[in-house]
Chain A
Amino acid sequence: MTGLRILFGLALRRDRVMLPAWVLGLGAAVLVTSTSYADLYKDPASRREVVTTLGETPATLALYGRIYADSVGGLVGWRLGGIALALAGLMTILLVTRHTRADEETGRAELLGATVVDRRAPLAAALLVATTASLALGVVVTLAVLAAGGGDATASALVDGATLASAATSGGTTLADTAALAAATTGGTALTDTAALASAATTGGTVFADGATLVFAPAASAGTGIDLAGALALGATFAAVGLAFAGVAAVTAQVTDSSRSANGLAVGVLGAAFAIRALGDAGPHWLSWLSPIGWGQQVRALAENRWPVLLLPLALAAILTVVATVLHARRDLGAGLFPPRPGPPRGALATPLQLAFRLQRGALVGWAAGFAILGAAFGSIAQDIGDVIGDSTDVKHALQTLGGQQDLVDAYLSATFGILALIAAAYAIQAVLRLRGEETSGRAEPILATATSRTRWALSHASIAFAGVALLLAAAGLAAGLGHAAQTGDANEIPRLTAAALTQAPAAWVLAALALALFGAIPKGTAAAWGALALALALVELGPLADLPQTLIDVSPFAHSPQLPGGELGAGPILNATLAAGLAAAGLYGLRRRDLTSS
Chain B
Amino acid sequence: MFRTVSAIAISGLVKTFGASRALDGLELEVAEGEVHGFLGPNGAGKSTTIRVLLGLLRADAGSVSLLGGDPWGEATALHRRLAYVPGDVTLWPNLSGGEVIDLLGRLRGGLDEERRAALLERFELDPAKKGRAYSKGNRQKVALVAAFASDVELLILDEPTSGLDPLMEEVFRACVAEERARGRTVLLSSHILSEVEALCDRVTIIRAGRTVESGSLAELRHLTRITIEAETTAGPVHEQVEPGELPATLQRLAHAGVTNLVAHPPTLEELFLRHYGAAPEEAGRSE
Q: Chain A: residues with CB nearer than 8 A to chain B?
A: 105, 257-258, 260, 340-352, 355, 358-359, 441-443, 445-453, 593-596
> In whole Å, how far is A594's beta carbon from the nearest beta carbon of chain B?
8
Q: Chain B: residues with CB nearer than 8 A to chain A?
A: 51, 54-58, 75-77, 79-80, 82-84, 86, 88-96, 98-104, 106-109, 126-130, 132-133, 143, 156
Residues of A close to B101: CB separation below 8 A: 347
| Shortest Cβ-Cβ A-B pairs, 5 listed | A343-B96, A347-B99, A450-B107, A347-B102, A449-B84
Q: Are A343 and B99 closer than 8 Å at their CB atoms?
A: yes
Measured in the bound complex, the distance between the Cα atoms of B127 and A346 in whole Å is: 8
Measured in the bound complex, the distance between the Cα atoms of B130 and A344 in whole Å is: 9
> In whole Å, how far is B75's beta carbon from the nearest beta carbon of chain A?
7
Closest A residue by C-beta to B79: A451
Closest A residue by C-beta to B17: A595
Show 14 residue pairs from A and B whose CB-CB distance is below 8 angstroms, ordered by the A residue: A105-B93, A343-B96, A344-B128, A346-B102, A346-B127, A347-B98, A348-B99, A350-B106, A352-B107, A446-B89, A447-B107, A448-B54, A449-B86, A450-B79
Q: Are A451 and B56 closer than 8 Å at their CB atoms?
A: no
Measured in the bound complex, the distance between the Cα atoms of B103 and A258 in whole Å is: 23
- Could you say which of A359, A447, A449, A451 has the most chain B C-beta atoms within 10 Å of its C-beta? A449
Closest A residue by C-beta to B98: A345
Residues of B close to A596: CB separation below 8 A: 51, 56-57
Measured in the bound complex, the distance between the Cα atoms of B224 and A318 in whole Å is: 64
Q: Are B86 and A453 closer than 8 Å at their CB atoms?
A: no
Closest B residue by C-beta to A344: B96
- Could you say which of A257, A358, A450, A593 has the most chain B C-beta atoms within 10 Å of its C-beta? A450
Q: Are B99 and A349 closer than 8 Å at their CB atoms?
A: yes
Residues of A close to B92: CB separation below 8 A: 359, 443
Q: Are A345 and B127 closer than 8 Å at their CB atoms?
A: yes
Pick from A350, A441, A445, A449: contact of B103, CB below 8 A: A350
Given known pairs A442-B88, A442-B90, the reply for A343 and B129 (CB within 8 Å) is yes
Measured in the bound complex, the distance between the Cα atoms of B54 and A448 in whole Å is: 8
Q: Are A451 and B86 closer than 8 Å at their CB atoms?
A: no
Q: Are B129 and A445 closer than 8 Å at their CB atoms?
A: no
Q: Are B130 and A452 closer than 8 Å at their CB atoms?
A: no
> In whole Å, how far is A123's beta carbon from the nearest beta carbon of chain B?
20
Measured in the bound complex, the distance between the Cα atoms of B58 and A352 in whole Å is: 23
Given known pairs A344-B128, A596-B51, the reply for A451 and B98 (CB within 8 Å) is no
Closest B residue by C-beta to A594: B58
Q: Are B54 and A449 closer than 8 Å at their CB atoms?
A: yes
Q: Are B108 and A450 closer than 8 Å at their CB atoms?
A: yes
Residues of A close to B132: CB separation below 8 A: 105, 257-258, 340
Q: Are B104 and A446 closer than 8 Å at their CB atoms?
A: yes
Measured in the bound complex, the distance between the Cα atoms of B130 and A153 in whole Å is: 58
- Could you say which of A258, A446, A594 has the most chain B C-beta atoms within 10 Å of its C-beta? A446
Pick from A347, A441, A443, A449: contact of B79, CB below 8 A: A449
Residues of B close to A350: CB separation below 8 A: 102-103, 106-107
Q: Are B133 and A340 closer than 8 Å at their CB atoms?
A: yes
Q: Are B98 and A344 closer than 8 Å at their CB atoms?
A: yes
Given known pairs A445-B56, A449-B54, A596-B51, the reply for A258 and B84 (CB within 8 Å) is no
> In whole Å, how far is A587's beta carbon from the nearest beta carbon of chain B?
18
> In whole Å, how far is A288's beta carbon from the nearest beta carbon of chain B?
36
> In whole Å, how far is A362's beta carbon from the nearest beta carbon of chain B?
8
Pick from A257, A345, A442, A452: contact of B76, CB below 8 A: A452
Residues of A close to B75: CB separation below 8 A: 448, 453
Measured in the bound complex, the distance between the Cα atoms of B96 and A107 in whole Å is: 20
Residues of A close to B57: CB separation below 8 A: 595-596
Measured in the bound complex, the distance between the Cα atoms of B105 and A351 in whole Å is: 11
Measured in the bound complex, the distance between the Cα atoms of B132 and A257 in whole Å is: 8
Closest B residue by C-beta to A449: B84
Measured in the bound complex, the distance between the Cα atoms of B104 and A486 in whole Å is: 50
> In whole Å, how far is B218's beta carbon from the nearest beta carbon of chain A?
33
Residues of A close to B96: CB separation below 8 A: 342-345, 347
Residues of A close to B103: CB separation below 8 A: 347, 349-350, 355
Measured in the bound complex, the distance between the Cα atoms of B73 and A291 in whole Å is: 59
Residues of A close to B58: CB separation below 8 A: 593-595
Given known pairs A443-B91, A452-B107, the reply for A346 and B98 (CB within 8 Å) is yes
Residues of A close to B100: CB separation below 8 A: 347
